[in-house]
């Protein structure tokens, strides 16, 4: 860890050890290549749409719940703090974090499952692959190329999972899935920063919505022990302040645990280069004790929140909206906006999937009403 180059560890991703961009471009003047990637992502259309896409709660259900946009910003905050502490490339971590959910459909996981079902006969739909498709192909911002022409390592970080079948279609980016190689430590950080962010903010949103209670959380060790600490330090504390004091401690404990465990693993692996990272096992991780506490917390959230009947009513409706939109456009591609029609002539199902996946929650509802509501034009 003492060997650093420009403030970064020797095994960090840097401009000079990167595999670069697909289309050659002049180097940026006052920024690093990964700062430029981060900036391109922030200026993209898909990034702005994240504001109106569901994380757990549909955007219009309340103004204070997380959306995919605020979720992505929280992931970037946690990820950057971890990267900086480990002398890794925090600009890369920020870029990947801000882009990691770009490919999500409207209505969260329910929407993705429904679209995947619709696309079963046409190559399937997977949100990680769709995020990559957006930054590689779908964004229309540059004269010289499709997409954002991001650095290899940013694209590698965005493509978190991938089946062997899809990996074979992805060229150099698919190699690591077939050759059993690990992505950069920066990409590994983004995975766990995502997990820390949603586990904690879903407790906050869950409590705020009234779908879960503090009483229930007394059975979840990670929450209960930090809540006990807060009550000991501030015996009079109640309400939102108590919840926030608890959650900030949980985030701190998880990040600290991850830093301790990862520093140990990196030291033991004797990394000297980025190549060593690809060949080593996954090195960014929680301690076994924290992994177990996280497993229990996730199990609680799944049962108590994600499968709460009020959430299921919403996801059930969402699935139907996605299915019906997809079917209507597939049956009659002339219903698509003009810019999708030429594309639909080449690959009808994929054009429909791209159109539906790109919708925000409220646009999907509006489009559904326009197509199906009697008396509405």
Contact positions vs Mg ion (CB under 5 A)? 101, 194
Instruction: Give yes or no for a contact between 88 and 189, defined as CB atoms under 8 angstroms apart.
Output: yes
| Distant-in-sequence, close-in-space partners of 281: CB < 8 Å, separation ≥ 6 | 182
Q: Which one, 41 or 349, has the nearer CB to Mg ion?
A: 41
Q: Which one, 14 or 104, has the nearer CB to Mg ion?
A: 104
The least distance separating Mg ion from the CB of residue 198, rounded to whole angstroms, comes to 6
What's the token pair of residue 151?
């650095």
Q: Which one, 194 or 205, has the nearer CB to Mg ion?
A: 194
Q: Which residues pair with 100 in a beta bridge?
A: none
The least distance separating Mg ion from the CB of residue 225, rounded to whole angstroms, comes to 26
The least distance separating Mg ion from the CB of residue 131, rounded to whole angstroms, comes to 10
The least distance separating Mg ion from the CB of residue 22, rounded to whole angstroms, comes to 25
What's the CA gap between 131 and 114, in Å, rounded?
Answer: 17
Instruction: Give yes or no for a contact between 167 and 178, defined as CB atoms under 8 angstroms apart.
Output: yes
Distance of CA 158 to the CA centre of its chain: 8
Q: Which one, 101 or 205, has the nearer CB to Mg ion?
A: 101
Tell me the backbone φ, ψ of residue 67, rounded to 5 degrees: -115, 180
Distance of CA 177 to the CA centre of its chain: 19
Residue number, nearest CB to Mg ion: 194
Q: Which one, 306 or 329, has the nearer CB to Mg ion?
A: 306
The least distance separating Mg ion from the CB of residue 71, rounded to whole angstroms, comes to 6
3-class secondary structure, 4: strand
**Residue 121: other Cβ atoms inside 10 A:** 7
Q: Which one, 125 or 326, has the nearer CB to Mg ion?
A: 125
What's the CA gap between 279 and 149, in Å, rounded?
Answer: 26
The least distance separating Mg ion from the CB of residue 162, rounded to whole angstroms, comes to 16
Q: Which residues pair with 67 in a beta bridge?
A: 54
């Amino acid at each position: 860890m003492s060997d650093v180059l420009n403030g970064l560890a020797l095994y960090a991703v840097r401009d000079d050890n990167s595999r670069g961009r697909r289309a050659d471009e002049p180097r940026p003047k006052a920024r690093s290549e990964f700062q430029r990637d981060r900036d391109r992502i922030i200026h993209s259309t898909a990034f702005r749409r994240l504001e109106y896409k569901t994380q757990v709660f549909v955007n219009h259900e309340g103004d204070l719940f997380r959306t995919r946009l605020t979720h992505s910003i929280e992931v970037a905050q946690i990820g950057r703090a971890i990267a900086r502490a480990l002398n890794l490339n925090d600009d890369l971590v920020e870029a990947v974090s801000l882009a990691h959910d770009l490919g999500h459909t409207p209505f969260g996981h329910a929407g993705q499952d429904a679209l995947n079902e619709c696309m079963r006969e046409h190559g399937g739909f997977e949100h990680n692959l769709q995020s990559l498709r957006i930054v590689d192909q779908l964004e229309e911002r540059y004269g010289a190329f499709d997409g954002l022409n991001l650095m290899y390592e940013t694209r590698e970080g965005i493509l978190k999972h991938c089946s062997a079948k899809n990996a074979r279609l992805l060229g150099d980016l698919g190699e690591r899935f077939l050759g059993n190689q690990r992505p950069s430590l920066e990409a590994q950080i983004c995975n766990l920063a995502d997990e820390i962010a949603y586990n904690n903010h879903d407790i906050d949103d869950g409590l705020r919505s009234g779908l879960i209670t503090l009483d229930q959380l007394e059975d979840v060790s990670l929450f209960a022990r930090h809540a006990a600490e807060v009550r000991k330090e501030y015996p009079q504390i109640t309400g939102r302040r108590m919840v926030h004091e608890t959650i900030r401690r949980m985030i701190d404990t998880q990040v600290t645990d991850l830093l301790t465990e990862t520093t140990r693993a990196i030291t033991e692996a004797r990394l000297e280069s980025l190549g060593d990272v690809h060949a080593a096992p996954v090195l960014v991780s929680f301690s076994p004790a924290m992994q177990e506490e996280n497993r229990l917390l996730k199990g609680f959230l799944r049962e108590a929140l994600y499968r709460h009947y009020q959430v299921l009513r919403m996801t059930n409706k969402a699935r139907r909206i996605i299915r019906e939109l997809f079917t209507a456009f597939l049956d009659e591609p002339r219903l698509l906006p003009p810019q999708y029609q030429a594309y639909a002539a080449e690959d009808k199902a994929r054009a429909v999937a791209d159109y539906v996946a790109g919708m925000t929650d409220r646009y999907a509802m509006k489009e559904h009403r326009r197509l199906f509501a009697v008396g509405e034009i």
